[in-house]
């Protein structure tokens, strides 16, 4: 998984897996889901991220049950 915040475009991109994108769909205003050829989500993009994410420049990663 990879998370990238681009301050120039104010977008936050969360890549879940390294697959080719078949199609993209705006599932909610400002949230784009990129789908692979298997129909599953490959990547999510949040537009105007600084308005909807409290701290777009920091990430907390938590692994439970390991």
> Which range marks the domain in which residue 47 is found?
2-52
User: How far is Cα 58 from Cα 33, in angstroms, rounded to an integer?
Assistant: 22
Residue 57 maps to a domain: no
Does 35 fall in a domain?
Answer: yes
Estimate to the nearest angstrom the gap between the alpha carbon of 24 and the chain centroid. 12
In a domain, 33, yes or no: yes
Within 13 Å of residue 22, how many CA atoms lie on the same side as its CB? 7
Number of domains in the chain: 1
- pLDDT of residue 23 exceeding 90, the answer is yes
Q: What would the pLDDT profile of 40-50 be if each residue is shown by its tens digit?
A: 999 999 999 99
Sign of CA dihedral 48, 51, 57, 60: negative
pTM attached to this predicted model: 0.85
pLDDT at position 55 is 83
Centroid of chain to Cα 11: 9
């Amino acid at each position: 998984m990879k998370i990238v915040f681009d301050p120039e475009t104010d977008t936050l991109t969360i890549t879940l897996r390294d697959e080719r994108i078949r199609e993209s769909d705006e599932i909610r205003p400002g949230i784009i889901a990129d789908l692979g050829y298997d129909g599953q989500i490959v990547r999510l993009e949040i537009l105007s991220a600084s308005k909807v994410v409290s701290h777009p420049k920091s990430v907390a990663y938590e692994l439970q049950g390991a």
